[in-house]
Structure 1
């Protein structure tokens, strides 16, 4: 009976130690991430919003999601700092084609919409009046 009690106490102690160790690691990572919040860094919030840090205070972070749109978040709402984006090789080739005035492989400009699709959309909306 005494041996069973000792096992329970030892296993309980190990469990408490492991959970508190994990919590300390998470707290250290969160503190490190919050110190990485500097003006100009691109961050992602826990809700999935991505923006550039414009201002940092003790409790809040001001993010600019699109030009002219600024949102205020609590520091703990920031999930992570995103690494700077580097263009991939394929994206670089498309940029060079656009700058040189060439068209993509299918012969249509990138943002063009086929005329049949436009006509179909117009005919659907003209009957709504």
Structure 2
């Protein structure tokens, strides 16, 4: 074989190896996401719905939508498990270096009685 043919075959082999490794990584991420789905978790579906997991079966999930309705979804529809933002929850992890949940996010003197921001002086 001449050097150009060897270079082409080597390049093709490299592209195939890189493609297979990327696919394996994506499969691993999907498997880890599916394993992280548990009752009480907030999830994002492929359709863009943010919901809370009510029950988990082998192939399906029951989700409670923002308006309180229940719906059944296949596990594959969940693309992400969202971080828990409720400090009272056992799943909550405060960001590093913060004291989350100990003080209000907005100082109470910065908003009026209706929760609207006060004008800056």
Please report the TM-score for the alignment, with normalisation by the length of structure 1. Answer: 0.68
- TM-superposition CA deviations, 1:66-117 (whole Å, max 9, x none): 36411111111111000111567553645xx7xxxxx934xx5348xxxxxx
- TM-superposition CA deviations, 1:8-67 (whole Å, max 9, x none): 110000000000000000000100110101111110111210011011112111111136
Unaligned runs of 5+ in 2: 87-99, 117-121
Paired residues, number: 102
Equivalence for 1:85: 85
Matched, 1:15 2:20: no
Distance 1:109 1:10 in 2: 67
Worse overlay, 38-47 or 68-77: 68-77
Matched, 1:109 2:114: yes
Matched, 1:60 2:92: no
Distance 2:21 2:30 in 1: 14
Q: Which structure is larger by alpha-carbon Rg, 1 or 2?
A: 1
Please report the TM-score for the alignment, with normalisation by the length of structure 2. Answer: 0.72
Unaligned runs of 5+ in 1: 98-102, 112-129
After superposing on structure 2, the runs of 4+ consecutive aligned residues of structure 1 that deviate more than 6 Å are: none
Matched, 1:69 2:69: yes
